[in-house]
Structure 1
Amino acid sequence: MNNITKACLDFAFNLKFDDTAPNTCEQMKKYIFDLICCAVAGSKTKEVDAFKYLCRLNVVQTGITPLGLTHPTSLYYAALLNGASGHALEMDDSDRTGLSHPGVMVITPALLAGCMQQSTGKDFLTACIAGYEIMLRVGTALGLSHYALWHTTGTTGPLGGSIAVGKLNKLTRDQLGHAFGNAGTLCSGLWEFNATKAQSKILHVGHGVADSILVCQLASQNFTGADKILEGKQGLFKGFHEEKFDESLFQDFGSMWRSDGVSFKPYPCCRHTHGGIDAGLELHRKLGDVPVEEIEKVVIETYQAAYDVVGNKKISSVKDAKFSLPFTVCTAIADGLVSEESFGEKSLRDQSKLSLVEKCTVCVASDIQAIHPFHEQSRVTLEMKSGEKISAFIADPLGEPETPLDWPDLAAKAKTLLSFISENEMNELQERVRTIEEEDIADLYQFVHSLSIK
C-alpha cells in the first residue's frame, strides 16, 4: 500500500460527527473526562513547575491561560504546560497495541484549539476521534520493536494531535496534509531517560502537544510539509526501521474504530505495572491475616516490555517507585490498595515493604510474551516459608476493554484526583462532558481552568 498517508488524511479530513459510531462517541467522552481530571490534578504537581516557569517568562496580553496559572501565555507555551500536566501523574489513558497515551496527545491540543476557535462540542468530539484513529494505527504499525527504543507517545502523538487541531482550525485538505507532514518530521522521544529516571517523559508529551499546535499554525499560512511522511522513502516508517508492518491497519477506517479499545488507568503508576498490581491485590485477599513476613519469595512473570521498563527493584524516589513492578506488586500485597499515597515518603520508607521487594524476582514468561501487546497479562507467585505456593494470574488488568471502567468508576477515580473541588463542581464537570455535544468548548475550557486554580 503506497498511499498510507493519503488514506489517513482522507479519512480524517472527511470525518463528520454523523459518521462516527455512537459507542465510539461515548467512549471518547470518557477519555475526555478522564484526561481533564488527570490534567487539572497534574497541574498542581511539582513535576510541572519548570513548564510554569516557561509560561511566566512568556506572559502575553492576549493569549490563553494554561492550567494552574492566572496569566495568559501564547498557545504554544500553554500547550507545553497543559500537555505535561496531563501526564504528570501517570493516570491518563493508554493503548496496548498503539503502545501510547493518546488522550493527553490528542485531547489536550484539541481542547486548546477548540477554545480559541469557539468550536462546538460535536466538532470537538469528531476531531478527537479522528486524532485517536490515526495515532493508534501508526503506533500499532510501529510495534514493539519501535517501543523498545522510542517512547511511542512522543513519536506518534504529534500526528494525532495535528489531525485534531487541524480539523478544529478548519484547515483545507492540503493544509491538513502539510501539518501532518511536519508533525511527522518532528516526532521524537527516546527511552534513555529511564536509565536515571529523568523527567523527559512529560517533556516528550508537552513538546508533542505544542508541536501539534505549531504545525497547524504554520499550515494555516501554507507552510508545506511532506506528503508521504509515513511510507515515503525517507519517511517515518523507514526512519524507524519498520519496513514490514500490517498495512491492513490503514484499510479499515470507518469500519474498525480503534478509539473504542483504549484502556483507563486505575492506579497512579506506569501501565506496565497494572497487571502485577491486580495480581498483588488478589494475593492480598488470599493471604488474609497471614503477615507478609511469612513470604519467602515473590516471583513476578510478565512480558518483555514490562521487564525492560518497570523491572527494577532499586527504589530511591517517587519516579523509581512508579516505574517498579516489584514495588507496586509488593505494595498491593502488603496494603491491599495502590493509590497516590502509596508513593508518599512513608510508603517509600516502609522497611517491611522494601524487604519484600528484595525478595522479588521478575522474569519474562513465554506464554505471556506470546500474546503481548494484545493482552498485558501477569502472574505472581508467592513462595511461603511453610513451603506453600500461592499464585494469582491476571488475563487483563482493570481498565482494559475486557475489564472496563464505566462512568461510576471514572467518577470515583476523579474524586481521588480532584479532592479539592466540591461535589457540585465534580457533578457539573461530569455532566458537561457527558453532554458535550451541547457545549461551547471555549466555555468548557474556562470551567476546567477555574478548577485548576482552586
Structure 2
Amino acid sequence: MSLTRSLVHLVRDKHITEADFEWASLFVLDTLACALGALKTEPARILATVAPPARGDTGRRAFYLGGLCHILEMDDLHRDSVTHPGCVVIPAAWAVAEEHDLRGRAFLKAVLAGYEACCRVGMAVGKAHYRVWHNTSTCGPFGSAMAAAELLGLTGDQAVWALGNAGTQSSGLWEFLASGAMSKHLHTARGAESGVLAAQLAREGFTGPERILEGEKGFFAGFCRDPVPAAVTAAPEQSWQLTRTSIKPWPCCRHTHPAIDAAIGLHSELGGAEIARVTVGAYQAALDVCDRPQPEDPYSAKFSLQHCVAIALKDGRVDQASFDAASRSRMAGERPKVALSVAPGVDSAYPRSWGAEITVETADGRKLHASRREAKGDPENPVGPEELSVKARALLLDGGMAAGEANALIGKILALPTDIPVRDLELFAPGRAGEAAPPLARSA
C-alpha cells in the first residue's frame, strides 16, 4: 500500500473525542483572528486587489484567507514538522464548509484531519528540507487537500488522488527572507488553494499519483535529502497532531520564541542595569533563519534573534510595536551585544523541543542565566482558552472590528463543537473591518 493511501486510512481511522473538537475550535479561533487582524495591512490590500474572491469560487476564497492568516506572524506552529498548519488547513476547510453550508462538527473534523496530514508529511521531510524549502508551503497542500476531501465526502481512491495532486503543486522557497519580500503570504495562500483545487478535481474523477511521496520521481526524491518516510504513518495511536501544536503569544518567527521567553524572564532580574554582553545558545535551524544582526524593516526584525532578545530584555515584553522603526532604532546599540551560537544540547533536541539558553553579563559584573526547553504556547506550557480569547480579541480589534462584534465572533467560533452552521461565523460581514467592508464582502 502506498504511503498516501496509508495516510488516508490512518486519518480516517482515528477516534475523535469531545476534547478534540474543543481543541480544534481553539485553533480555529487563533487562526481566524490572525487573518482578520491583518485586514488593514499592505499585503492584505494587495491580496484583495489582485485576487478578490467571489462567493462560489471556493479555491480563491481559501487563497485569500490563507494569505491573510500568515501576515502577522501570530499563527500556530507544529514543532516536529516545522509547519504552520492552521494557516493552510483552516482556510481550505472554512472555504469548503461555507460554500456547501456545512456545520461545525464536520468542519472541525476536517480541520483535525488536515492538521494530521500536513504534520505527518512534514515530520517525514527530514531536517535538510527546511534549509531551502518552507515546510508550511510544501507540506501544507497535503493538509488542505485532506481537509477538503473530508468535507466533500471523497472516496478512498478520490482522497488519494487529491493528495497526489496536492503534492505535485508543492512549492515555496526561503529566498524571500533575503530581502524581506512578501512571498511567505503567497506560500500559505497557494497552499490552501492547491488542496481545495486538488480535492474538487478528484471528486470529478481527475486522477493523481498514488506514490507522490515515495515514488522514484516523487516528493521525497525531489525535495528531501534526508527523508524519514516511516514518519508518515508512525505511532497512529498518538493524539491528534493538532493537540501537539503550539500557539504563538508573540508576533514573530517561532524560532525566536524560546529565547524571547527566557529573555522576558530575565528582564525583572536586570532591574534596568546596563547590558554588556548577551550570549544565546540555540539550535541550528533557528540560526539559519533568524541570524539577522541588522534588520532594516519590520518583517526582517521579526526574523532577528538579535533584535527579539534585545528588546525582550529591555522592555520585558514583545508586541507588534517592538518591530517598528522606532523600536529598531532604539535597539541599534543593543543588538550588537547579542552573540548567537549553536548549543549542542538544544540542537540535538530539535525539532522535538525548540529551546534556547541565554546568559546576560551586566556592566556591573553580574551574570544572569535562563533557559527554555518549551516556550510559552507549547503543548507542555499551553496558552489557555481565556488567554487565547484575549489574544484573539486584541487581533480582531486591531483589524478594525468593533468590540461587541469581536466578542460575538469569538463566542460563535468556540460554539462550533455544538454544531452551529459554519456560515453563522460571517467572517467578512460588511463593516466588520472598519468603516469600509472588507474585500471579500464587497465581492460576494
Q: Which TM-score band applies after superposition, normalised by the shorter structure? A: over 0.9
The two structures have a TM-score, normalised by structure 2, of 0.92
Partner of 2:38: 42
> Which of 251-260 and 428-437 deviates more?
251-260
- Verify: 1:25 aligned to 2:21, yes or no: yes
1:267 shift after superposition: 0.4
Determine which of 164, 170, 173 is the counterpart of 1:181. Answer: 164
Q: Distance in 2 between matches of 1:159 and 1:248?
A: 15
Q: What is the one-letter code of the residue matched to 1:24?
A: D
**Mapped contact 2:413–2:425 kept (Cα < 8 A):** no
SS at match of 2:280: strand
Change (3 A) 1:226 1:9: same
1:236 shift after superposition: 1.2
Note the 1:360-375 alignment, pairs <5 A. 360-375=338-353
Partner of 2:357: 379
1:220 shift after superposition: 2.2
**Mapped contact 1:315–1:321 kept (Cα < 8 A):** yes
SS at match of 2:358: strand
- Verify: 1:337 aligned to 2:337, yes or no: no
SS at match of 1:354: coil
> Which of 20-29 and 201-210 deviates more?
20-29
Determine which of 305, 318, 327 is the counterpart of 2:298. Answer: 318
**Mapped contact 1:40–1:451 kept (Cα < 8 A):** no
Determine which of 254, 268, 273 is the counterpart of 2:256. Answer: 273
1:388 shift after superposition: 2.1
1:450 shift after superposition: 4.8
SS at match of 1:421: coil
**Mapped contact 2:63–2:91 kept (Cα < 8 A):** no
Q: Distance in 2 between matches of 1:54 and 1:162?
A: 24
Partner of 2:270: 287
- Verify: 1:76 aligned to 2:59, yes or no: yes
Partner of 1:67: none
String of CA shifts for 1:33-64, please: whole Å, max 9, x gaps.
100100101222112222111234xx75xx25
Partner of 1:11: 10
- Verify: 1:144 aligned to 2:127, yes or no: yes
**Mapped contact 1:183–1:215 kept (Cα < 8 A):** yes
1:91 shift after superposition: 0.3
**Mapped contact 2:412–2:425 kept (Cα < 8 A):** no
Q: Distance in 1 between matches of 2:423 and 2:229?
A: 41
Q: Distance in 2 between matches of 1:450 and 1:23?
A: 33
SS at match of 2:97: helix
> Which of 265-274 and 226-235 deviates more?
226-235
Q: Distance in 2 between matches of 1:386 and 1:437?
A: 56
CA RMSD of aligned residues (A): 1.9
SS at match of 2:125: helix
String of CA shifts for 1:106-138, please: whole Å, max 9, x gaps.
011100100001111111111111111111111
SS at match of 1:381: strand
Partner of 2:437: none
Q: What is the one-letter code of the residue matched to 1:273?
A: T
String of CA shifts for 1:235-279, please: whole Å, max 9, x gaps.
212222356516154043354422211000000000011111111
Determine which of 391, 402, 405 is the counterpart of 1:425. Answer: 405
> Which of 176-185 and 212-221 deviates more?
212-221
Partner of 2:442: none
Change (3 A) 1:388 1:210: same
Note the 1:97-108 alignment, pairs <5 A. 97-108=80-91
- Verify: 1:216 aligned to 2:199, yes or no: yes
1:12 shift after superposition: 3.6
Partner of 1:69: none
**Mapped contact 1:79–1:108 kept (Cα < 8 A):** yes
SS at match of 1:391: strand
SS at match of 1:363: strand
Structure 2, unmatched stretches of 5+, are 435-444
Partner of 1:358: 336
SS at match of 1:355: coil
Q: Distance in 1 between matches of 2:278 and 2:45?
A: 38
Structure 1, unmatched stretches of 5+, are 65-73
Note the 1:286-305 alignment, pairs <5 A. 286-290=269-273, 294-305=274-285
Q: What is the one-letter code of the residue matched to 1:98?
A: S
String of CA shifts for 1:428-452, please: whole Å, max 9, x gaps.
2222222213344442342454575
**Mapped contact 1:120–1:437 kept (Cα < 8 A):** no
> Which of 434-443 and 195-204 deviates more?
434-443
Q: What is the one-letter code of the residue matched to 1:40?
A: L
**Mapped contact 1:43–1:86 kept (Cα < 8 A):** no
1:410 shift after superposition: 0.3
**Mapped contact 1:111–1:445 kept (Cα < 8 A):** no
Partner of 1:395: 373
Q: Distance in 2 between matches of 1:357 and 1:339?
A: 17
1:162 shift after superposition: 0.5
> Which of 228-237 and 34-43 deviates more?
228-237
String of CA shifts for 1:371-404, please: whole Å, max 9, x gaps.
0111111111112222321111112110001110
Determine which of 90, 95, 100 is the counterpart of 1:112. Answer: 95
**Mapped contact 2:62–2:94 kept (Cα < 8 A):** no
Change (3 A) 1:217 1:100: same
1:217 shift after superposition: 2.0
Change (3 A) 1:408 1:440: closer
Partner of 1:92: 75
The two structures have a TM-score, normalised by structure 1, of 0.90
Partner of 1:262: 245
Q: Distance in 2 between matches of 1:256 and 1:336?
A: 35
- Verify: 1:232 aligned to 2:215, yes or no: yes
1:408 shift after superposition: 0.9
